[in-house]
C-alpha cells in the first residue's frame, strides 16, 4: 500500500465520528426470506427468561440474523430464536449475544421512565406476527426491551387489506401477553407468551402466518459523546412493517421427534455456519480479545482530539462521498503497551478496505500494522508489542457505496498473548 500524506482537515476523534448509522435501503440486494416451521411443544414453560425447560430443548433454533441495510451480510453480534405452540398459546424464545451487556443495562436503567413500555432508546427485540384473515394478514408488532418493558401495536385494517405505508398502526394496551427477560455477562434471553385469543385466531395444522423477528440496539457511552445504532433481522427489510416481505411460519401440527431438534437446527442454519467457518481466522483473533481490557476505555473523553472545523458534525454537511484518506486520531496522557487492534464498522456496506495503524513513539509516527484488500465489517490483527500515547488509523481505500457514510462502531487496542504476532 503506497503511503499517502495525512490530511489534517479530516483528523477527528475516533469515537466521536461514530454518529448514528445510515437508514437507507440496499435496493440492489435481493432480500433473503427465511421461513420457520412451528412445532407443538411437548412440555410446559415457566416464564422466567432462563430457557432451561425441556420444552425449549425439543424445538429447533433459528439464527443467522442479517443487517437491515445490507441483507446479504450477517450481523457480527448474533441472535437466535425458537417458536412453538400448544392449543391456546404461541411461545417465542430469544437468545442474543451482547458483549456490552453491563453498559447497556446501566444506560437503560439510567434512562428508564417507569412507564413499563418498551423503549427504542436501547436494546430490544421486535416480533411481528400476522395471522391470516378474510382481508389478508392482520399484523401485530410485539416489542420487549432488556429491562422487560413491553409494547404491542396492531395494524388497523378498517375493512381493507393491509397496505404498507397506508394502513395505520395503533398501540393497544388491552391485549394479554406475557414476557420475561434474563441477562448475563455477554448475552440476554427472552421468553414471550401470546395467547391465540389475543391474536384473534387459533393456529391450524398446515396453516401459514407471517413472521418477522428483528433486533434493535443503541449503544451509548457517557462522556465520550458517541452513539451507534445497529439493526439486524431474520428477514431483513428496508422498513420492518413491510409484511409482504416477512417470512412464513407454518404450524406443523406435531411435536419434534425426540433427539431431532439438534439435527433440524444444524440443517436450518447450515448457510450461516458455513459463513462463520469461512471467517474463522478473524473469529479466532477476536476470541483472544475477549475478557481483555480495551485500553482506549481508560481514556478520559475530554482528552480526545477534535477537528477544528467542527468534527463529525461538519463531515455530515459535506457531499455524500468519501474523500480519502480519512484519519482517525486518538491521544492519551500515559504511554501504554498494546499488540492488537480490533475494528468494527457501523455500516456493513461501507468500511475501510485498506488502512494503516500507526503509533507515536515520542519522536515520529511508526507503522504497527498495515492492511490491504480487507473484506468484512470487522477486522482484528496482532502485531509486535509497541508502547505509545497516541495512535492514528489512516484509511486510504473503502468499499464503494454512494448512499452511506463510513463510520466506526468500535475501535480497540489490547495487550494479548504475542505468540501469533505478525512479524
Q: What is the pLDDT of residues 216-262, one digit of tens each?
A: 986 654 433 345 556 889 998 877 899 999 999 999 999 999 889 99
Average pLDDT over residues 314-335: 62
In this prediction, residue 37 has a pLDDT band, given cuts at 50, 70 and 90, of very high
Q: How far is the C-alpha of 369 from the C-alpha of 169, rounded, in Å?
A: 51
pLDDT, residue 347, reads 66
Q: C-alpha grid cell for residue 286?
A: 477476536
Q: What is the DSSP letter of 20?
A: P
User: Could you say which of 247, 268, 289 is where a domain stops?
Assistant: 268
pLDDT, residue 7, reads 32
For residue 403, being part of any structural domain is answered with yes
User: Could you say which of 211, 246, 268 is where a domain stops?
Assistant: 268
Q: How many domains does the chain have?
A: 2
State whether 264 and 366 are in the same domain.
no
State whether 108 and 244 are in the same domain.
yes
For residue 230, being part of any structural domain is answered with yes
Predicted confidence (pLDDT) at residue 272 exceeds the cutoff of 50: yes
Q: How much helix, strand and coil, in percent to the nearest 5, is found in the chain?
A: 15, 40, 45
**Whose CA is closest to 39, among 62, 58, 64, 65?**
58
The phi and psi torsions of 240 (rounded to 5 degrees) equal -70, -15
For residue 26, being part of any structural domain is answered with no
For residue 24, being part of any structural domain is answered with no
What three-state secondary structure class fits 270? helix
What residues contact residue 75 under an 8 Å CB cut-off, 6+ apart?
65, 66, 67, 215, 230, 232
pLDDT, residue 34, reads 86
Predicted confidence (pLDDT) at residue 188 exceeds the cutoff of 90: yes
State whether 294 and 264 are in the same domain.
no
Average pLDDT over residues 11-26: 32
For residue 29, being part of any structural domain is answered with no
For residue 275, being part of any structural domain is answered with no
pLDDT, residue 301, reads 43
Chain centre distance of CA 204? 34
State whether 186 and 61 are in the same domain.
yes
- Which residues are 201's β-sheet partners? none
Average pLDDT over residues 372-388: 85
Q: Which of 295-299, 335-339, 419-423 shows the lowest mean pLDDT across its residues?
A: 419-423
State whether 232 and 336 are in the same domain.
no
**Whose CA is closest to 188, among 283, 123, 143, 127?**
123
State whether 233 and 182 are in the same domain.
yes
Complete DSSP assignment for 366-388 = EEEEEE-S--SSEEEEEEEEEEE
More reliable by pLDDT, 284 or 73: 284
CB 275, CB 73: distance < 8 Å: no
Q: What is the DSSP letter of 304?
A: S
Residue 315, CA distances (Å) to 58, 145, 302 in order: 52, 33, 20
Domain with 315 in it: what CATH number? 2.60.120.260
Average pLDDT over residues 119-143: 94
Q: How far is the C-alpha of 277 from the C-alpha of 106, rounded, in Å?
A: 34
State whether 250 and 123 are in the same domain.
yes
pLDDT, residue 63, reads 96
Predicted confidence (pLDDT) at residue 20 exceeds the cutoff of 70: no
Structural domain for 327, as ranges: 8-16+281-420
State whether 250 and 337 are in the same domain.
no
Q: C-alpha grid cell for residue 26?
A: 440496499
pLDDT, residue 339, reads 93
State whether 238 and 135 are in the same domain.
yes
State whether 262 and 299 are in the same domain.
no
pLDDT, residue 297, reads 73
User: Could you say which of 268, 296, 315 is where a domain stops?
Assistant: 268
Q: In the predicted model, what is the mean pLDDT of the chain?
A: 80
For residue 95, being part of any structural domain is answered with yes
CB 61, CB 72: distance < 8 Å: no
In this prediction, residue 205 has a pLDDT band, given cuts at 50, 70 and 90, of very high
Predicted confidence (pLDDT) at residue 76 exceeds the cutoff of 60: yes
CB 307, CB 17: distance < 8 Å: no
State whether 382 and 323 are in the same domain.
yes
pLDDT, residue 420, reads 45
Domain with 94 in it: what CATH number? 2.60.40.1190
State whether 12 and 94 are in the same domain.
no
For residue 292, being part of any structural domain is answered with yes
pTM: 0.71
Predicted confidence (pLDDT) at residue 405 exceeds the cutoff of 80: no
Amino acid at each position: 500500500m503506497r503511503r499517502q500524506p495525512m490530511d489534517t482537515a479530516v483528523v477527528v476523534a475516533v469515537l466521536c465520528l461514530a454518529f448514528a448509522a445510515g437508514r437507507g435501503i440496499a435496493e440492489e440486494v435481493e432480500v433473503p426470506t427465511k421461513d420457520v416451521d412451528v412445532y407443538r411443544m411437548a412440555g410446559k414453560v415457566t416464564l422466567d427468561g432462563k430457557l432451561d425447560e425441556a420444552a425449549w430443548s425439543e424445538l429447533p433454533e433459528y439464527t443467522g440474523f442479517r443487517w437491515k441495510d445490507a441483507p446479504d451480510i450477517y450481523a457480527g453480534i448474533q441472535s437466535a430464536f425458537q417458536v412453538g405452540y400448544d392449543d391456546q398459546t404461541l411461545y417465542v424464545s430469544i437468545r442474543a449475544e451482547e458483549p456490552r451487556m453491563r453498559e447497556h443495562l446501566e444506560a437503560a436503567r439510567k434512562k428508564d421512565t417507569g412507564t413499563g413500555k418498551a423503549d427504542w432508546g436501547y436494546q430490544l427485540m421486535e416480533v411481528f406476527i400476522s395471522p391470516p384473515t378474510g382481508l389478508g394478514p392482520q399484523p401485530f408488532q410485539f416489542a420487549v426491551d432488556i429491562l422487560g418493558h413491553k409494547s404491542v401495536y396492531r395494524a388497523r385494517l378498517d375493512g381493507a387489506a393491509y397496505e404498507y405505508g397506508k394502513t395505520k398502526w395503533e398501540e393497544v394496551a388491552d391485549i394479554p401477553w406475557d414476557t420475561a427477560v434474563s441477562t448475563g455477562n455477554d448475552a440476554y434471553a427472552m421468553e414471550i407468551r401470546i395467547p391465540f385469543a389475543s391474536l384473534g385466531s387459533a393456529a391450524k395444522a398446515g396453516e401459514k402466518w407471517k413472521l418477522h423477528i428483528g433486533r434493535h440496539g443503541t449503544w451509548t457511552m457517557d462522556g465520550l459523546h458517541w452513539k451507534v445504532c445497529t439493526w439486524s433481522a431474520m428477514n431483513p427489510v428496508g422498513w420492518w412493517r413491510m409484511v409482504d416481505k416477512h417470512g412464513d411460519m407454518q404450524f406443523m401440527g406435531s411435536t419434534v421427534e425426540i433427539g431431532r431438534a439438534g439435527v433440524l437446527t444444524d440443517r436450518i442454519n447450515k448457510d450461516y455456519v458455513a459463513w462463520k467457518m469461512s471467517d474463522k481466522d478473524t473469529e479466532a483473533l477476536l476470541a483472544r480479545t475477549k475478557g481483555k481490557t480495551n485500553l482506549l476505555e481508560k481514556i478520559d473523553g475530554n482528552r480526545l482530539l477534535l477537528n477544528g472545523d467542527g468534527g463529525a458534525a461538519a463531515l455530515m454537511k459535506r457531499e455524500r462521498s468519501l474523500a480519502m484518506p480519512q484519519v482517525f486520531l486518538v491521544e492519551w496522557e500515559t504511554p501504554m503497551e498494546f499488540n492488537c487492534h480490533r475494528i468494527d464498522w457501523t455500516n456493513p456496506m461501507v468500511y475501510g478496505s485498506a488502512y494503516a495503524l500507526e503509533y507515536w513513539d515520542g519522536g515520529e509516527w511508526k507503522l504497527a500494522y498495515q492492511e490491504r484488500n480487507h473484506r468484512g465489517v470487522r477486522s482484528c490483527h496482532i502485531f509486535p508489542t509497541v508502547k505509545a500515547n497516541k495512535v492514528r488509523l489512516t484509511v486510504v481505500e473503502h468499499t464503494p457505496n454512494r448512499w452511506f457514510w463510513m463510520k466506526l462502531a468500535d475501535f480497540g487496542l489490547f495487550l494479548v498473548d504475542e505468540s501469533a504476532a505478525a512479524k
